[in-house]
Amino acid sequence: MAITVVKNTLGSVAWYLLAVAFAFAFAAAYLAHSYKQYLKLSAFRGPPTSGWSNFWLVRAVMRQNTHIDFANVCEKYGSVARIAPNKLVTSSPELLFRMSAARSPYTRSDWYAGLRLPPGQDNIFSTMDEKQHSRRRAQMADGYTGKTNTFLESTIDTHILNLVRLVRTKYVSTSTEFIPMDIARKAAYFTMDVITDIAFRQSFGNLVDDCDTYRYIQSTEEMLPIMITLTSVPALSAFFQFPWVAKLFSPNDKDNTGVGKLIGIARKLVHERFTKKSAVDNDMMASFIAHGLSETDLVAESLLQILAGADTSATAIRATLLHLISHPLAYRTLQGEIDKHLEEGLISSPVVKESEASKMKYLQAVIKEGLRIWPPVTGLLSKQSPLDGDEFELDGHKIFIPGDTSVGYCAWGIHRNKEIFGADADMFRPERWLTDDSSKLAVMNRTAELIWGYGKYQCLGRPVALMELNKVFVELLLNFDFELVDSTSPWKSANVGLWIQSELEYVEEIHCADKELQDHLPDNLEAFQDTFKERFTGLSREDIVVWHDKYRAMYIDQENTYSLLSHGATQLKLESFVNVKRVSVNNGCEPETEQNLAALDAQEIFKHPAQWGTMTQARAGRGWFTHPHAVDEKGDLDRPLRELLHVDWMRPTFLPLVPLLYPQLRHLEFHCFAIHHRTFLECLGMLQNSLRFLIFSNCVFKPTLLTVFTKIREMKSVPLITIFKHSHDYDSQPIPEKPSILTEEAITPYLVWLRMNGSLSLHDWDKWVLEYADENSGDAESVEDE
Q: Over the stretch 237-258, which tens digit does the pLDDT of each residue have?
A: 666 666 666 666 666 666 666 6
Cα gap 752→748, rounded to integer Å? 6
Architecture of domain 116-378+420-510: Orthogonal Bundle (1.10)
C-alpha pair distances (Å), 310 with each of 220, 239, 657, 710: 11, 28, 35, 41
In sequence order, what are the beta bridge partners of 480? 510
Query: Measuring CA to CA, which residue among 101, 126, 89 is closest to residue 405?
Result: 89
Q: Using one digit for the tens of pLDDT, what is the confidence trace for 93-108?
A: 999 999 999 889 999 9
Cα gap 109→698, rounded to integer Å? 76
Cα gap 228→381, rounded to integer Å? 11
Query: Measuring CA to CA, which residue among 350, 348, 299, 317 is closest to residue 465?
Result: 317
pLDDT bin (cut points 50, 70, 90) of residue 681 is low
User: Which DSSP category does 552 fall into?
Assistant: I
Mean pLDDT calculated for residue range 625-629: 30
Query: Measuring CA to CA, which residue among 472, 476, 483, 479 is closest to residue 178?
Result: 483
The answer to whether the beta carbons of residues 114 and 393 sit under 8 Å apart is no
Of 213-227, 341-355, 419-433, which gets the smallest average pLDDT? Answer: 213-227
The answer to whether the beta carbons of residues 688 and 716 sit under 8 Å apart is yes
DSSP per position, 564-608: --HHHHTT--GGGGSS--EEEEE-S--TTSTT---GGG-GGG-SS
Other Cβ atoms less than 10 A from the Cβ of 588: the count is 14
Report the predicted TM-score, pTM, of the whole model to 2 decimal places.
0.63
The answer to whether the beta carbons of residues 295 and 285 sit under 8 Å apart is no
Mean pLDDT calculated for residue range 276-301: 78
Query: Structural domain boundaries of the chain?
Result: 2-114, 116-378+420-510, 526-733
Q: Using one digit for the tens of pLDDT, what is the confidence trace for 359-416?
A: 999 999 999 999 999 998 888 889 999 999 999 988 888 999 999 999 999 999 999 9
The overall average pLDDT reported for the chain is 68
The answer to whether the beta carbons of residues 634 and 619 sit under 8 Å apart is no
Instruction: Tell me the three state secondary structure of residue 345.
Output: coil
pLDDT value for 293:
85
Q: Is the pLDDT of residue 725 over 60?
A: no
The answer to whether the beta carbons of residues 285 and 273 sit under 8 Å apart is yes
Query: Measuring CA to CA, which residue among 722, 711, 708, 785 is closest to residue 752?
Result: 722
In sequence order, what are the beta bridge partners of 501? 493
Q: Is the pLDDT of residue 192 over 60?
A: yes
In sequence order, what are the beta bridge partners of 506? 181, 484
Q: Using one digit for the tens of pLDDT, what is the confidence trace for 53-112?
A: 888 888 888 888 888 999 999 999 999 999 988 999 999 999 999 999 988 999 998 888
Burial grade of 32 (CB within 10 A; 0-12, 13-18, 19 or more): exposed
Q: What are phi and psi of 217, to 5 degrees?
A: -60, -45
Query: In this structure, is the dihedral angle defined by the CA atoms of residues 287, 448, 503 and 221, taken in order, positive or negative?
Result: positive
Q: 520: which residues sit within 8 A by CB, 6+ positions away?
A: 678, 682
Q: 530: which residues sit within 8 A by CB, 6+ positions away?
A: none
Mean pLDDT calculated for residue range 217-233: 74
Query: Measuring CA to CA, which residue among 470, 207, 477, 192 is closest to residue 352?
Result: 470
Q: Is the pLDDT of residue 121 over 60?
A: yes
pLDDT bin (cut points 50, 70, 90) of residue 37 is confident
